[in-house]
Chains A and B, each alone.
Chain A
Amino acid sequence: MANQDKRATSRREFFANLFMGGGLFMAAVTFLRDLWLYLYPDLGRRRYTKYMVAKTRDIPVGKARRLLVGRVPLYVVHLEDGFRVFSGICTHLGCLVKWEDARQRFYCPCHKGIFAPDGSVVGGPPPRPLDEYRVSIENELVFITIEQRQGRWS
């Protein structure tokens, strides 16, 4: 028992420090959490929208057609095994790719990135294939499904 008196902190001090420190710590954590909640933008809910992008008859096999959904350029490509829809934004640094019909390829003028008609990288610096949209065909119409987040200012 005599040893107990020599301890650096008494039990009373230990609990006082525990509650004070714990309280301050929790207050700090709560504050930082709320600060993050305030600062992080409200991205809105995910919504899926279906867009009709082409009639199957209009694009023969081996052809591609460019169109805009909002401000995003898309390419609808008719391959032998069906329709594919690619984003027209180069996966390298965000320039807009161009479909070259004669060479059957997508070409990015910024850094000479080359993509095959199925979106895969054939040459140049792009790190991954072109982004692709989910395609569905109903009644000879080509639809794509786009995921959108409806934020306050978008």
Chain B
Amino acid sequence: MRAKEWILERFPIDYQKFIEINEKIFIKEPIPYHMKKWFYAMGATPLIIFAFQVLTGILLTFYYIPSPEMAYESVRHITEDVRFGFLIRGIHRWGSNLMVIALFLHMVRVIFTRAYRPPRELNWIIGVLLLLTTLTFAFTGYSLIYNQLSYWATTVGTNFFKAVPWVGDTILNFLRGGENVNPNTLTRFFTIHIGLLPPVMTFLIFLHILVLRLHGVAEIEGREGEGHYPFYPSHFYKVIIATLFLITVMSALSVVLPPGIGEPATPDETPIHIKPEWYFYPVYRILKLLPLSIGIYSLVAGLIVLTFWPFIDEYFKRKMPKVKMHYVFGTLFVGLILILTVWEAMVF
């Protein structure tokens, strides 16, 4: 107890108040009863994975060298020489994949339970921004490996911006730090990946949770008033279990299916079978099916519908109260993404 008094004397906060706030905000956060079911309680998964990404990402920067001559070699060094390097890189790589999956599942669950219904539309939009940030993370991170596939994925991926009307070329040059993919592209992507995106992501997560807490977790539509239980211990332990489960899964995947390094990037030769990472398959498939500008416009249209879906859903609700439009939208969302992904996975 003496230590506590010593600290409180030098860090004079109202300890009783602190305990009260802590109890009110964390320990006794009211969790609606349906979250006793695991199916509804996995919203924290992307956050847990993000925490692992931050940790492993910091560790990777200890060895990664963001220069065209050294990038591939340093990734190889991490994977093959550094003790536990393969594991750190494996967890980071698998974490990025699982994070996309976790976000997708979280979104699907939110769509089908209509958890975005008023007054929570803004949190859905913040969620969409979080998805876009995650995908930017994934894209920039993948390019840092600097092997053949990641180099050409970067080339192709940045080329899409050309189709943006009027400012396409400007954006492209800005992103690449030149007209072509060049040494500056790598440093830019590195800076975006480790310097710019983490604070953006952290801020968005903070907003997401803040809005969530201000409203309280949405109850299931039509089952309101089932009651609440406190965050601690039941939900707290759910999060701990999820964390342990995830670290186990990511470690196991890293050991069983460790990320490879491929061929070093050669800017004067495009490999025959070039593909982005699987989570960009739907986008890639659409762009293969349609002419570039139409493809881009339809993707942007899809993104706008996704972003403002809570408002669109509300509109349909007023016009056609009996139709459950969110089921239609959710099925389309899942169906399209799955079909396009599988389609792209099967075709070269």
Which residues of A pack against B, CB within 8 Å? Answer: 34-35, 37-39, 42, 152
Contacts and interface: CB of A to CB of B under 8 A. Distances in A.
B88 interface: yes
A42 B84 contact: no
Contacts of A152: 77, 81
A35 B82 CA distance: 11
B62 interface: yes
A35 B84 CA distance: 8
- Is chain A's binding surface mostly helix, strand, loop or mixed? helix
A38 B81 contact: no
B59 interface: yes
B37 interface: no
Interface of B: 59, 62, 77, 81-85, 88
- Is chain B's binding surface mostly helix, strand, loop or mixed? loop
A34 B77 contact: no
A37 B77 contact: no
Nearest to A37: B83
B88 A38 contact: yes
A38 B84 contact: yes
A149 B172 CA distance: 46
Contacts of A35: 59
19 contacts: A34-B83, A34-B84, A35-B59, A37-B83, A37-B84, A38-B59, A38-B62, A38-B82, A38-B83, A38-B84, A38-B85, A38-B88, A39-B59, A39-B62, A42-B81, A42-B82, A42-B83, A152-B77, A152-B81
B81 to A, nearest CB: 6
B86 to A, nearest CB: 11
A135 to B, nearest CB: 35
B41 to A, nearest CB: 23
A131 B97 CA distance: 54
Nearest to A35: B59
B80 to A, nearest CB: 10
Nearest to B77: A152
Contacts of B88: 38
Nearest to B65: A153
Q: A-B pairs with the 3 shortest C-beta distances? A: A38-B84, A37-B83, A34-B84
A12 to B, nearest CB: 18
A35 B83 CA distance: 9
Contacts of A37: 83-84
Contacts of A38: 59, 62, 82-85, 88
Given A34-B84, A42-B81, 9 more contacts: A37-B83, A38-B59, A38-B62, A38-B84, A38-B85, A38-B88, A42-B82, A152-B77, A152-B81
Contacts of A39: 59, 62
A146 B139 CA distance: 47
